[in-house]
Amino acid sequence: MNIQTLKVEESRINEVDASNIQFGKTYSDHMLIADYVDGQWQPAQIVPYDDISMSPATTFIHYGQSIFEGVKAYKNASGHVSIFRPADNWKRFNISAERMAMPHVPEEIFMDGMRQLVELDKDWVPSSDGSSLYIRPFMFATDAFIGVKPADCFRFMIITSPAGAYYNKPTRIYVQNKYVRAFPGGIGFTKAAGNYGACMLPTAEIRKLGYDQILWTDGYEHKYVQEIGTMNVFFVLGDKIITPDLSGGTILAGVTRDSVLKLLKQHGYVVEERPLTIEEIRESFYKGELKEAFGTGTAAVIAPIAELFYDGQTLDLPPVEQWEVSNWLKKELADIRYGRTADTHHWMYKVC
Amino acid sequence: MNIQTLKVEESRINEVDASNIQFGKTYSDHMLIADYVDGQWQPAQIVPYDDISMSPATTFIHYGQSIFEGVKAYKNASGHVSIFRPADNWKRFNISAERMAMPHVPEEIFMDGMRQLVELDKDWVPSSDGSSLYIRPFMFATDAFIGVKPADCFRFMIITSPAGAYYNKPTRIYVQNKYVRAFPGGIGFTKAAGNYGACMLPTAEIRKLGYDQILWTDGYEHKYVQEIGTMNVFFVLGDKIITPDLSGGTILAGVTRDSVLKLLKQHGYVVEERPLTIEEIRESFYKGELKEAFGTGTAAVIAPIAELFYDGQTLDLPPVEQWEVSNWLKKELADIRYGRTADTHHWMYKVC
């Protein structure tokens, strides 16, 4: 599908300092917009990045029918640009859409739209190791009506922002036993806006105590570990690598999580997806078997955990330099993304 | 505080058909805007009602830091306009703000702002019995930044819309035992946008089965009744009037709920705020003691329930004409609001 495109008269690319890219401070020259009206998608358009205008009665402002995805495009040494597993984000976007009573976004808008947008702004994809173009597809309800009802009109958009190499200082994690992020029957498995807003205060509170992120636990007993809010979580306990399973509907099915699982299995590691209690992690720690713990997500990729604070106790992880699994994963994922190793899983979606 | 005001050149009031007011289709001539920047509130402004413009990276679009309130202004037979308990909505707004990591809105912006806005648009307050001016204060995070972090900048707004008499056809209620609206440790007690978006699909599903609204139950066991999503809920069981207590943090502390409790106690009714199981309601029904059931909220005021569907069984309530409690409440609240009886609770906040 060829998307109607209105190009900028002059690119803003020179405003970007390639040696000091600040994520989220600058957005690329263009954005994609597609509106859903009267039960059908109108033709998508690529237009210069600009503010959008809406009625103050727009329903999503009041009732939060709003979802998003996070995707990254990489430039390899030959200057070719590819997007990492965008079809998986497209599928997950539509899972979020369904739970939030929003229409599915068709493949030609999400996938072709993303490809054409990234191709047009290919100069915005940084090439230094660890850097990428962050791609943000999102959709929100646009009826100008404040009655509480599922909306009839929606807008899908994609914006992009260059992202520099992410330095993953090992994080100090607070295991949450008061607030709850998600519960069965809710929307924890979706990337709905409301899931994130509800975590802002709990996160601000633990930051005041000197921690970086929350490891969420289940809402019934605060006993089972779940996710880190913007990342899934993995633990290396003895010779096993364990991550919480997704069956409760409270954990996001991360694309990086899935990639990590596939790479680990392919490499012959013993991997378990199952309910995991904080107690089991604590026991492993005291037996000297808690070897590694890390978050996985589109933004941070692999984020090592330096310590876990739970209920008055601190579990200190061994120095990150000694970690075999996560350091290998980080290198393997980077090699695939920057085209330094064969893409045997067909994860890289070539743009140009 | 005198708020800087830019008036419309010509009012749109003539576009409104006073005999057929459609709620949420028309908004009054003016709106209030106040921005929070660099840790402080900038002066509020009243300006002509119009679209607002924002960056597509505005944080609340992506992460749902967005809250609202619902308030009503009434015009009495002498043409005087008063707002029903706005200070209680102001307090609750700030409770929502705190949980969503947003700044408190000061009294002079919320209260003075609302009063001056309603006074300026007093011709928009309908005068027919049952009608009102619906007032929607709301606030959202305005940082143009898609990193996941609590925002630094916010916008508070008030818009208003005339609302005709609300005909409360007795509602068919589906008692939810699959989806969960709120959970202890979550944000169920707030008017955060995300709470409403998450209910759209469950509500759409029960509408397909012929029901009007969901009666939510607790997330642990689907055993205790909670609220109707836009309304609190009361049951008349024998000679007692029972409503779920607020201690779990999963139920909105409704201003209409509180008004109903105060009126009932003042009138000598036996009222209980406590955990209430669907089983107790069902047993009362089979003993012939389920006399009335109704929702309470700003929009519908008192909404009688015709039937409750739970787990394959339908509980039919007696004909609404026979209901003593809710019919009395409805009349009493209307008499206070339209100035036909003494406002002994000092609930009416005089505008002009």
Query: What was the ipTM of the complex prediction?
Result: 0.96
Is it the case that residue B213 has pLDDT exceeding 90?
A: yes
For residue B347, tell me if it sits in a domain.
Answer: no
- A14 in contact with B at a CB cutoff of 8 Å? no
For residue B198, the one-letter residue type is A
β A4-5/A45-48 pair status: parallel
Residue B340's CB is within 10 A of a number of other CB atoms, namely: 13
**Look-up of token digits 């009335």:** B292
Same domain, A237 and A268: yes
Single-letter amino acid code for the residue at B313? Q
Per DSSP, A62 falls in state: H
Closest CA to A81 of A346, A337, A340: A337
Helix (H, G, I), strand (E, B) or coil at A97: helix
Pair B36, B139 in one domain: yes
Per the prediction, chain A carries an average pLDDT of: 96
- Which among B56, B149, B230 has CB closest to A157? B56
Residues 107-146 of A with CB under 8 A from B: 134, 136, 138, 140, 145-146
CB contact under 8 A, B186 and A192: no
- The residue that leads in pLDDT, A128 or A251, is A251
B88 pLDDT band (50/70/90 cuts)? very high
* Res. B216 pLDDT band, cuts 50 70 90: very high
Strand, coil or helix: what is A267?
Answer: coil
- Tell me, yes or no, whether A109 lies in a domain: yes
pLDDT tens-digit map of A178-209: 999 999 999 999 999 999 999 999 999 999 99
pLDDT score of B15? 85
Are residues B221 and B81 part of one domain?
A: no
Query: Which residue among A148, A164, A180 closes a domain?
Result: A164
Partner residue facing B194 (CB), from A184, A198, A219: A198
Q: In terms of C-beta distances under 8 Å and separation of at least 24 residues, what long-range contacts does B242-248 make, across chains too? A: B242/B271, B242/B272, B242/B273, B242/B274, B242/B276, B243/B271, B243/B272, B243/B273, B243/B276, B244/B273, B244/B274, B244/B275, B244/B276, B245/B273, B245/B274, B245/B275, B246/B189, B246/B273, B248/B184, B248/B218
Q: Is A223 on the interface with B (CB under 8 A)?
A: no
Domain co-membership, B259 together with B321: yes
Distance from CA of A239 to the nearest CA of B (A): 34
| Residue A154 shares a structural domain with residue A182 | no
Candidate from A105-109, A146-150, A283-287 with smallest mean pLDDT: A146-150
Determine, for residues B200 and A100 on separate chains, whether the beta-carbon distance falls below 8 Å. yes
Residue A1 has pLDDT above 80, yes or no: no
Q: What is the pLDDT of residue A152?
A: 95
Lowest mean pLDDT among A1-10, A213-222, B16-25: B16-25
Q: Does A243 touch chain B (CB under 8 A)?
A: no
Q: Which among B99, B140, B201 has CB closest to A100?
A: B201
Domain CATH for A21: 3.30.470.10
- Residue A290, both tokens: 């808690």
Residue A97 domain boundaries: 4-164
Interface test with A, best of B63, B166, B195 (most A CBs within 10 A): B63
φ, ψ at B19 (rounded to 5°): -85, -5
Q: Which single residue is written with the structure tokens 């876990």? A: A308
Residues A93 and A148 in one domain: yes
CA distance B5 to B159: 14
Chain A nearest C-alpha distance from B289 (Å):
32
**Which stretches of chain B are DSSP H helices?**
59-63, 86-99, 107, 113-120, 193-197, 200-208, 255-266, 278-286, 324-337
* Token pair 């019934």: residue: A220
Residue A31 resides in a domain: yes
- Across A148-177, average pLDDT: 92
In a domain, B350, yes or no: no
Of A226, A214, A216, whose CA–CA distance to A251 is shortest? A226
Beta strands in chain B (DSSP E): 4-5, 30-37, 40-41, 45-48, 52-54, 66-68, 71-75, 81-84, 132-141, 154-163, 171-175, 213-215, 232-237, 240-243, 270-273, 290-297, 301-310, 313-316, 348-350
Number of domains chain B contains:
2
* B344 part of a folded domain: no
Answer whether B91 touches A (CB < 8 Å). Answer: no
Kindly state whether residue B349 falls inside one of the protein's structural domains: no
- The answer to whether B22 faces chain A, any CB pair under 8 Å, is no
Each residue of A302-335: pLDDT tens digit? 999 999 999 999 999 999 999 999 999 999 999 9
Residues B23 and B99 reside in one and the same domain: yes
Predicted local confidence at residue A19, as pLDDT: 82
The amino acid present at B172, given as its one-letter code, is R
pLDDT of amino acid A218: 97
pLDDT mean across residues, chain B: 96
Mean pLDDT of B92-110: 98
